[in-house]
Structure 1
Amino acid sequence: MITWLNNKIDQLLQPELLRPENLGQLHPGDYVPIPSDIVLPSIITAFAFVLIRHIFDRLVVYPIGTYFGLKDSIPRKNTFDHPVLEQEYKNSKSPTSDVILVLSKKTGISERTIQFWFKKRKKQDKVSGIKRLSDSSWSFAFYFVLSWYGIYVLSNKQWSTKTEDCWKGWPLLTVSNDMYYYYLLELGYYISYIYMLFTDHKRKDFLEFFIHHNVTVILLILSWSVNVVRIGALVLCIHDPVDYLLTFAKSAVYCKKHRVADVCFVVFLFLWILTRLIVYPYVVLYSVYIELPTLAENDINIKTLDSSLVIQFLKALLVVLQVLHVLWTILIFKSAATKFTRGELQDARSDSEDDEKDEDDDDVLNDENFKEMSNNNTGNDGIGQ
């Protein structure tokens, strides 16, 4: 069954990439990428990462979070059920005064009580500090380890500094064992993180992250299938070192170590601009859009590669990544601006509604109309429609 599945994967993702005459040119021990060698192993690796994540939470995150006074759960204060208000809550968690007025007329509930209802309803969705720390700490641990592993792997590769060599000799570009494991771990992580996006706390930029991680998975699989692993490894190595700085800064914020977070954020901001807005476009995109077509003019194999639909698709995905870089840069600068206006580093890439202050909590609890409806918990009964 596994053999049959692997054969189907190879037929789908790598149809006749290497002809018999190509294979005859390989030296004993040389290895060129085969899709079945990484697709199923990466799925198994993804399951392993999910399991390791749970162990990491229990052995590392929870003790650290508890030490810094973070709570594993948030007290839930019941609110009365009401389908009309619940439906509006799905549309907007902070309705305008005009919408509240309409809801008041529709339900027969006072505007003040409706305002209280929305405040209490939002508190039910708040995410605990431990869960936030879990997300950022896990990302930090992965990116920290893999970024330095990637730098180690690429440090002795000539093509890492001379990007023309990412293409010369295709399709007989051999892959070393360390490169294989680098790709396998990265692919397994991003597959696992797509799942974790649905299980971790809600993000303001959920869609951007979902697109980014799916694009990354597709890039990794396709680049492996057509043996353009070298340029793919450069993309990974450019991205990872910056990400662990951001996730560490977020972890420091959750642990109330704002000075540490500020220092990390400044370093992160500098490296983000350097890698995402300068190195990535002027190294990766330049190599893909300028060097590759130039080499294709004098090499029939590279010309075949450059004119293939797969490479055109990969080129488009690399541009999508750059668009996401620009969008995230805007969010990051908003976060930096918030630092100067509020004096506290905010996570512009998470749902800011979860960070609301609780100044009016006592008023909410003590409001007589609200207490009566909460105690009755009657839904529509006794409420005018």
Structure 2
Amino acid sequence: MAGILAWFWNERFWLPHNVTWADLKNTEEATFPQVEDLYLSFPFAFCIYMIRLVFERFVAKPCAMRLKIQNNGPMKAQPNAILEKVFTAITKHPDEKRLEGLSKQLDWDVRSIQRWFRQRRNQEKPSIVKRFCESMWMFTFHLHLFIYQIWFMKTMPWFWNLRQCWENYPYQPLISDVHYYYIIKVSFYFSLLLSQCLDMKRKDFGLMVVHHCTAVLLLTSSYVINMVRMGTLIMSLHDVNDLFLQAAKLANYTKCQKLCDLLFGLFAILFIVTRLCIYPLWLLNSTLFDSWEIVGPFPSWWFMNFLLLIIQVLNFMWSCIIIKMVWKAFSKGKVSKDDRSDVESSSDDEDSVSYGKNIHSKTSNGTTDASDTNGYLSSGICSEEH
């Protein structure tokens, strides 16, 4: 294991020329980021996950009950041993040939079997109360962390002058608040990985696992090579979007449609301004050109900037999706349903009535789930996150 770590953290790749890990050891005069610091993130991740469970059980859920959010999930499929065996052991999305075979075996029409599989898949989706509790936890966590971040960053010279992120790099002493902030953020993403594995599997499970792993890689890499000044700026830029996104979700779950539309509109504007203007024109520009001028390129410089450029490409893609959703909202007078909504749409009127009662929407046919952007937008936040 030690050999693998030594190979991974090769100083010739990660550090500028003529700089070694020995040069960045802690001294009495200055403290620098150390790989060993990140070991704290594992127990902290477990603690954050447990705090989340307690918060959702004793804070968020009572709030949902007080707000009279219904705890019922999608309509359950009628028990059927044959279809259940196919669903659990073979496929959740049977093809046309299998549907025809099941139709002959059960003496059901194909449409009824399709409806059964659709209802059975929806049974595994979380209820509105569950999603409300998750969003309330995310909103509360990001709010406190964002306030803490702005509180200590507003006094830092590199917050106002981006060139300060690279002056005397990498021999920049680590500030204790930055150290705590990074450990909390890494722990938070580890806790999300833990919850992804332990909670009910979502449609975007694979996408979110990749996203969280990428976020952890970016955070740990920027911490170890002491690019924490720029790292905190990039994270703060992304965190502010999370606040409005989660607030819009909460308003949607409580059927406050006007407030939901307002918050989602603010989120859309803020997302586009931060991701398409501030991030590329200031932060990305600094990592590409200021760092080149002051520090000069080295192997991990290319690696980090490559990842940051990928984030910008994703930001552009997500912004296009948001603009499309906002355009639909204006054209229809309401926010359109996200393509990756947790509840699948039905192709027939009967199912539309059944599912419409369970989708968190202002209208009876359940067409507004735009603030629940778990698939498209949350994966871009941090790293997004972030």
1:343, distance to aligned residue in structure 2 (A) = 4.3
Q: After superposition, where does 1:127-166 map in structure 2 within 5 Å?
A: 127-166=126-165
1:274, distance to aligned residue in structure 2 (A) = 0.8
Deviations 1:302-334 (A, max 9, x none): 33xx212x2222112212222332232233234
Matching residue's letter, 2:221: L
The unaligned stretches of length 5 or more in structure 2 are: 355-386
1:254, distance to aligned residue in structure 2 (A) = 0.8
- Does 1:80 find its partner at 2:91? no
Structure 1, 248-257 or 148-157: larger mean CA deviation = 148-157
Matching residue's letter, 1:353: V
Q: Which residue of 1 aligns with 2:316?
A: 326
- Residue 115 to residue 357, structure 1, CA distance change in 2 (3 Å): closer
Matching residue's letter, 1:91: H
Counterparts of 1:32 and 1:14, CA distance in 2? 17
- Residue 346 to residue 147, structure 1, CA distance change in 2 (3 Å): farther
1:106, distance to aligned residue in structure 2 (A) = 7.8
SS where residue 92 of structure 2 aligns? helix
Matching residue's letter, 1:61: A
Q: After superposition, where does 1:177-188 map in structure 2 within 5 Å?
A: 177-188=176-187
Counterparts of 1:274 and 1:363, CA distance in 2? 39
* Cα root mean square deviation, aligned: 3.5
1:53, distance to aligned residue in structure 2 (A) = 0.2
Deviations 1:3-59 (A, max 9, x none): x98x996885374966599569x984421111112x111112111110000011012
Matching residue's letter, 1:274: V
Say whether the 8 Å CA contact 1:249–1:261 is kept in structure 2.
yes
Counterparts of 1:363 and 1:78, CA distance in 2? 17
Bigger Cα Rg: 1
Q: After superposition, where does 1:203-282 map in structure 2 within 5 Å?
A: 203-282=202-281
After TM superposition, the score normalised by the length of structure 1 is 0.77
Deviations 1:328-380 (A, max 9, x none): 2233234324434554435637434346699626999xxxxxxxxxxxxxxxx
| Matching residue within 282, 301, 306 for 1:311 | 301
- Does 1:13 find its partner at 2:4? no
- Residue 357 to residue 178, structure 1, CA distance change in 2 (3 Å): farther
Say whether the 8 Å CA contact 2:132–2:250 is kept in structure 1.
yes
Counterparts of 1:54 and 1:121, CA distance in 2? 27
Counterparts of 1:275 and 1:52, CA distance in 2? 30
Structure 1, 310-319 or 166-175: larger mean CA deviation = 310-319
1:241, distance to aligned residue in structure 2 (A) = 0.8
Counterparts of 2:279 and 2:88, CA distance in 1? 45
SS where residue 149 of structure 1 aligns? helix
Counterparts of 1:334 and 1:177, CA distance in 2? 42
Say whether the 8 Å CA contact 1:159–1:166 is kept in structure 2.
yes
Q: Which residue of 2 aligns with 1:31?
A: 31
Say whether the 8 Å CA contact 2:11–2:20 is kept in structure 1.
no
Structure 1, 175-184 or 7-16: larger mean CA deviation = 7-16
**Greater helix share, structure number:** 1
Q: Which residue of 2 aligns with 1:379?
A: none
1:136, distance to aligned residue in structure 2 (A) = 1.2
Say whether the 8 Å CA contact 2:166–2:291 is kept in structure 1.
yes
Once the two structures are aligned, what percentage of the paired residues are identical?
A: 28
Counterparts of 1:85 and 1:22, CA distance in 2? 58
- Residue 65 to residue 166, structure 1, CA distance change in 2 (3 Å): same
Say whether the 8 Å CA contact 1:212–1:324 is kept in structure 2.
no
1:284, distance to aligned residue in structure 2 (A) = 2.0
Matching residue's letter, 2:125: K
After TM superposition, the score normalised by the length of structure 2 is 0.77
Q: Which residue of 2 aligns with 1:109?
A: 108
Counterparts of 1:292 and 1:204, CA distance in 2? 40
Say whether the 8 Å CA contact 1:148–1:241 is kept in structure 2.
no
Q: How many residues align?
A: 346
| Matching residue within 348, 351, 365 for 2:341 | 351
Counterparts of 1:102 and 1:333, CA distance in 2? 44
- Residue 354 to residue 70, structure 1, CA distance change in 2 (3 Å): farther
Q: After superposition, where does 1:21-60 map in structure 2 within 5 Å?
A: 22=23, 28-37=28-37, 39-60=38-59
Q: Which residue of 1 aligns with 2:93?
A: 91
Counterparts of 1:312 and 1:33, CA distance in 2? 21
SS where residue 108 of structure 2 aligns? coil
